[in-house]
A and B are shown apart, each in its own frame.
Chain A
Amino acid sequence: MPTWDEFQPFIVTGLALGGVYALSGVGMVVLYRTTGVLNLAFGAVGAMGALIAWQMINEGGWAEAPAYIVCVLFGGAITLAYGLIFGPPLAGRDPLVKATATLGLALILLGAMSWIWSDKARSMILPTSTENFQVGDVLVNYTQVLGLTFGVVVTVGTVLFLRYTKLGTAMRGLANDREITATLGVPVRRVEAAAWLVSGLISGVAGLLLSNLVGLDAATLTFLVISSLAAALIARLSSVIVTLLAGLVVGLATALATPILSISEYRDMAPFVLATLALLWLSRKGHTISGRAV
């Protein structure tokens, strides 16, 4: 069993990764609450944005900052385009159908990434990854700080946005009942479009951070959505605050299991185990995944 000193650096890596899981989870929850769509293409969109940024910097000779902005904008643009094209025709369908449709987008993007970029080793280092500071014996870089900070800031920002802005109120209205909200004069498609756009922009940011914290690899970034999904499920796809906490717990649990060699190779199960335990506990308490009128 590792000593406390040996566990300390894993707390840093766990919180950093957990922060980005939370960030991604919040993006998924906001979209689900507004549109009823569980976006399984969240990771693939971020991955493609990050690879485009890599291409621009390394092959196109672009400066880093505009390339990073393009990465985020790409996330917003592709997600918004999907939402506008496929959102309305699928609006009346079962949530499972909607989620499966986004899986189609994920697979198309994954195939495109494999075709364009192959599986050669490549990396994109944010300037924040090369700057670090010492906390006790642990070296912390600023990308790790950013991961946690973004998770917290986006969560708090989302809570305030949903509570105090007209668009946020409209999103909450849609989450409660789409038909009634529409009859009250809320322009449903515009509100949903805003949710698609925000979720897409968050996927771009998450892709950028994860390409540094995890690695610039299409398949890895695409399937990291599973850990974020676990955080969102623990929050019953409704509470962004609980999503933040769940994301951090998932990140920490996975990281802290890593140095314990006897269970290390099973740590990838942590998100599913935690989600399953949470859902079982919630169902005993009479809570279920938030049903959303479509």
Chain B
Amino acid sequence: MSIKLVLGRSWRTVPLAALAVCFALFVAACGGDDDDNGGSGDGSGFSGEKAKTAASKCGLGNGEKASGEPIKLGAINTKQPGTDFTEIAKTAEAYFKCVNDNGGINGRPVELVQETEQTDPAQAAAAAKKLIETDKVAGIVGSTSIIECAINHKYYEDNGYYVIGSGIAPECYGTPNYSAVNMGPRHSVTGATQYLIREGVPKLVLLQSKVPGTEYIEGGFLALAKQEGIPTESLAEAVPIQDANSVALKIVQAAGDNGGVVLNFTPPEALKILQAAAQQGLQDRVKWACSTPCNTDFLADALGTTFDDKLGVNAELNLVSVDEPDTNLYKEILQKYAPDIPLGSFSQFGFLEARIATDAMLGIKGDVNKESVNEAFKNIKGFETDMLCKPYYFGEAPLHIPNNTDWTVTPKEGTMVQKEECFEISEADAPIKRVRDIEKSEGIYQPVE
């Protein structure tokens, strides 16, 4: 048998040619990208309208370089494939750089020592031990980790550290030495549920990723629905989702016509479901809501106009597009000190944590050391910022959820816009009720105007 094939003659050159083609395609594809994060636009305002409101000042705001022995602070962030919170600490670091360029903490610069962990309890514990015993940090600021609060809160309590961070695990909100600037997935899901109840849905369905902690997260959703007498279905879905069309159909059928669906996923996974719903014409069959991770212009941009004003997203922090002093400073700092970090909730967390910590440290009379820094953190009360609905506080209490009032936003022509004014997260959820009682007893409770 003799078979002739017409496949070219110079076989030695084919692998090189094929590789060259691949490389050319890759270069062509990357040609127009000026954005290191590969995103689809961040709605940053970096190149948009000029801010009319003056930005807040960095620290002392005197333009003088800080010098001398640095005040060391520490942060621990999860960094693993699919979950990277390091931009929170990097944004905090950017803020401290700005502070150091503006007089530091009464002349001394701030240094943020950053550690990472991969959802490994031993690693998280070792990171905290290193920060406190080896680096001898004066305070913990800018941490966000899937497990760190649960692993280290006792260690911090024993060593007198009061942590200003952003949280995920229940211990970030239910222990005495943590006070997060965000409210976490449980309360954000409750906030998204409240939006749907205001929309008058007859049934509620919660769909979240199937990871440890789903029962904790659904707690507020179930308590609120029970209080309102609305039937519920709480479902979990393994991620990454591989059949988004079927998942979208499932939750719409489970909610029934005009029912309400709450999604609690990372933006890419939520996008899959929302896009599948749009392709099957399901946007108007039910009311849609989402917890905080959906509050990103990346998602709004990817959705196009399909969910304009049809998706209520719970927003723990204010929109990055507002023209307000702290938000303008946040944008200026990212632009100057960390241009690779995109605008969004994560970098807002880092900025706010560093800003709060700086404000507290500037109030220290005398030596700035571990004792005085943590005393200052513990005594924070009534910290006002345009990034939060209500002032941030720390204080001595068995639990801390200072961020318990927030907004609802919605996609509109590729960006997120405000849909509802500030509202209080429902006290149907027991931890929120406890926090409000503490606020009232301390005289720091502020009702929403």
Contacts and interface: CB of A to CB of B under 8 A. Distances in A.
Nearest to A189: B11
A290 interface: no
A81 B15 contact: yes
Given A84-B18, A119-B266, A227 B37 contact: no
B253 A59 contact: no
Contacts of A268: 238, 242
A23 to B, nearest CB: 16
B4 to A, nearest CB: 7
Contacts, number: 202
Interface in B1-44: 1-5, 7, 11, 14-15, 18-19, 21-22, 25-26, 28-33, 35, 37-40
Nearest to B9: A190
B11 A118 contact: no
B18 A55 contact: no
Given A55-B29, A121-B302, A258 B3 contact: no
Interface string A36-74: 000000000000000011011011110000000010011
B267 A121 contact: yes
Contacts of A114: 81
Interface of A is mostly: helix
Interface in B245-289: 245-247, 249-250, 253-254, 266-272, 275-276, 279-281
Contacts of B31: 59-60
Contacts of A74: 22, 25
A227 B270 CA distance: 22
A10 B39 contact: no
Contact of A123 (B247, B250, B275): B275
B298 A120 contact: yes
Q: Which range holds the interface residue count of chain B?
A: 35 or more
A139 B252 CA distance: 14
Contact of B245 (A13, A53, A191, A217): A13
Contacts of A85: 15
Interface in B50-87: 81-82, 84
B243 A17 contact: yes
Contact of B3 (A14, A77, A185): A185
Contact of A116 (B38, B81, B249): B38
Given A80-B18, A121-B270, A193 B246 contact: no
B5 A166 contact: yes
B428 interface: no
A254 B269 CA distance: 19
A189 B10 CA distance: 12
B250 A215 contact: no
A60 B32 contact: yes
A81 B22 contact: yes
Nearest to A74: B25
A270 to B, nearest CB: 10
A254 B30 CA distance: 36
A14 B285 CA distance: 21
Contacts of B127: none
Interface string A187-210: 101110110000000000000000
B384 interface: no
B38 A120 contact: yes
B302 A77 contact: no
A184 interface: yes
B250 A191 contact: no
A167 B33 contact: no
A254 B244 CA distance: 12
Contacts of A25: none
Interface string B217-233: 00000000000000001
B243 A123 contact: no
Contacts of A186: 1, 3
25 contacts: A13-B245, A52-B25, A52-B26, A55-B38, A56-B29, A60-B29, A77-B25, A78-B18, A80-B18, A84-B11, A116-B38, A119-B82, A119-B266, A119-B268, A129-B279, A132-B281, A141-B280, A190-B11, A191-B5, A219-B240, A220-B240, A220-B242, A223-B242, A254-B246, A255-B246
Interface of A: 2, 6, 9-10, 13-14, 16-17, 52-53, 55-56, 58-61, 70, 73-74, 77-78, 80-81, 84-85, 114, 116-123, 125, 129-130, 132, 139, 141, 143-144, 166-167, 169-170, 173, 184-187, 189-191, 193-194, 212-215, 217, 219-220, 223-224, 227, 254-255, 258-259, 261, 264-265, 268
Q: What 7 pairs between A and B have smallest CB-CB spacing?
A: A215-B272, A81-B18, A121-B267, A220-B240, A60-B32, A258-B246, A13-B245
